[in-house]
Amino acid sequence: MSTDINATDSPSEIATASREADSAAGGSPPGRFERVLVVTTDDPAGRAAASTAVDLAAAHGATVDALYVVDTTEGWDMVVERRERAGEALVESVEAAGASVG
Protein backbone atom coordinates (compact mmCIF):
# COMPACT_ATOMS: atom_id res chain seq x y z
CA MET A 1 0.00 0.00 0.00
CA SER A 2 1.26 3.48 -0.70
CA THR A 3 0.36 6.90 0.56
CA ASP A 4 0.01 10.13 -1.35
CA ILE A 5 2.64 12.56 -0.14
CA ASN A 6 3.15 16.00 -1.62
CA ALA A 7 6.39 17.96 -1.59
CA THR A 8 4.61 20.66 0.40
CA ASP A 9 3.51 18.31 3.20
CA SER A 10 5.06 18.98 6.58
CA PRO A 11 7.08 16.22 8.29
CA SER A 12 4.26 15.65 10.79
CA GLU A 13 1.72 15.30 7.94
CA ILE A 14 4.00 12.77 6.26
CA ALA A 15 4.45 10.81 9.50
CA THR A 16 0.68 10.81 10.10
CA ALA A 17 -0.02 9.59 6.56
CA SER A 18 2.61 6.89 7.01
CA ARG A 19 1.09 5.69 10.30
CA GLU A 20 -2.41 5.67 8.78
CA ALA A 21 -1.18 3.61 5.82
CA ASP A 22 0.50 1.16 8.20
CA SER A 23 -2.69 0.81 10.19
CA ALA A 24 -4.81 0.27 7.06
CA ALA A 25 -2.34 -2.32 5.77
CA GLY A 26 -2.80 -4.59 8.74
CA GLY A 27 -1.37 -2.83 11.74
CA SER A 28 2.37 -2.78 11.16
CA PRO A 29 4.36 -1.67 14.18
CA PRO A 30 4.21 2.12 14.68
CA GLY A 31 7.97 2.58 14.28
CA ARG A 32 9.45 1.75 10.90
CA PHE A 33 12.82 3.29 11.55
CA GLU A 34 15.25 2.65 14.38
CA ARG A 35 17.75 5.31 13.30
CA VAL A 36 17.61 8.39 11.08
CA LEU A 37 20.85 9.74 9.59
CA VAL A 38 20.94 13.41 8.65
CA VAL A 39 23.79 15.37 7.13
CA THR A 40 23.47 19.00 8.15
CA THR A 41 25.06 22.24 7.01
CA ASP A 42 25.13 25.75 8.41
CA ASP A 43 22.44 27.14 6.13
CA PRO A 44 18.64 27.12 6.01
CA ALA A 45 18.50 23.86 4.01
CA GLY A 46 20.77 22.07 6.47
CA ARG A 47 18.79 23.27 9.46
CA ALA A 48 15.54 22.25 7.75
CA ALA A 49 16.98 18.79 7.08
CA ALA A 50 17.92 18.43 10.75
CA SER A 51 14.48 19.56 11.88
CA THR A 52 12.79 17.13 9.51
CA ALA A 53 15.01 14.29 10.73
CA VAL A 54 14.09 15.01 14.35
CA ASP A 55 10.38 15.11 13.48
CA LEU A 56 10.63 11.86 11.50
CA ALA A 57 12.53 10.11 14.28
CA ALA A 58 10.03 11.30 16.89
CA ALA A 59 7.15 9.98 14.80
CA HIS A 60 8.78 6.55 14.58
CA GLY A 61 10.39 6.31 18.00
CA ALA A 62 13.82 6.35 16.37
CA THR A 63 17.14 7.95 17.20
CA VAL A 64 18.87 10.60 15.09
CA ASP A 65 22.49 10.44 13.98
CA ALA A 66 23.56 13.92 12.85
CA LEU A 67 26.61 14.37 10.66
CA TYR A 68 28.47 17.50 9.64
CA VAL A 69 31.33 17.15 7.15
CA VAL A 70 34.33 19.47 7.10
CA ASP A 71 36.55 19.51 4.02
CA THR A 72 40.03 19.53 5.53
CA THR A 73 41.79 19.66 2.17
CA GLU A 74 40.95 23.28 1.48
CA GLY A 75 41.58 26.28 3.64
CA TRP A 76 43.96 27.07 6.41
CA ASP A 77 43.99 25.29 9.73
CA MET A 78 42.21 28.25 11.31
CA VAL A 79 39.37 28.02 8.77
CA VAL A 80 39.06 24.26 9.23
CA GLU A 81 38.94 24.66 13.01
CA ARG A 82 36.23 27.31 12.70
CA ARG A 83 34.18 25.00 10.47
CA GLU A 84 34.68 22.13 12.92
CA ARG A 85 33.38 24.27 15.78
CA ALA A 86 30.38 25.33 13.69
CA GLY A 87 29.69 21.70 12.86
CA GLU A 88 29.92 20.64 16.49
CA ALA A 89 27.47 23.38 17.44
CA LEU A 90 25.02 22.26 14.74
CA VAL A 91 25.21 18.62 15.80
CA GLU A 92 24.67 19.67 19.42
CA SER A 93 21.62 21.70 18.38
CA VAL A 94 20.18 18.60 16.69
CA GLU A 95 20.81 16.68 19.91
CA ALA A 96 19.00 19.36 21.93
CA ALA A 97 16.08 19.37 19.49
CA GLY A 98 15.82 15.60 19.77
CA ALA A 99 15.89 15.75 23.55
CA SER A 100 13.09 18.33 23.56
CA VAL A 101 10.75 16.07 21.56
CA GLY A 102 11.69 12.91 23.41
Question: Structurally, how many domains does the chain consist of?
Answer: 1
pLDDT digits (tens, 9 = 90+) for 44-96: 999 999 999 999 999 999 999 999 999 888 778 898 999 999 999 999 999 99
Q: Is residue 46 in some structural domain?
A: yes
Q: Where are the alpha helices (DSSP H) in 1-102?
A: 11-24, 44-60, 77-101
Q: Are 38 and 63 in contact (CB under 8 A)?
A: no
Q: What is the pTM of this model?
A: 0.63
- The parent domain of residue 64 ranges over 33-101
pLDDT digits (tens, 9 = 90+) for 9-27: 666 666 666 666 655 655 5
Q: Is residue 16 in some structural domain?
A: no
- What is the pLDDT, as a whole number, of residue 72? 86
Residues with Cβ within 8 Å of 19's Cβ and at least 6 positions away in sequence, in order, are: 30, 59
Q: Is residue 24 in some structural domain?
A: no
Q: Are 59 and 5 in contact (CB under 8 A)?
A: no
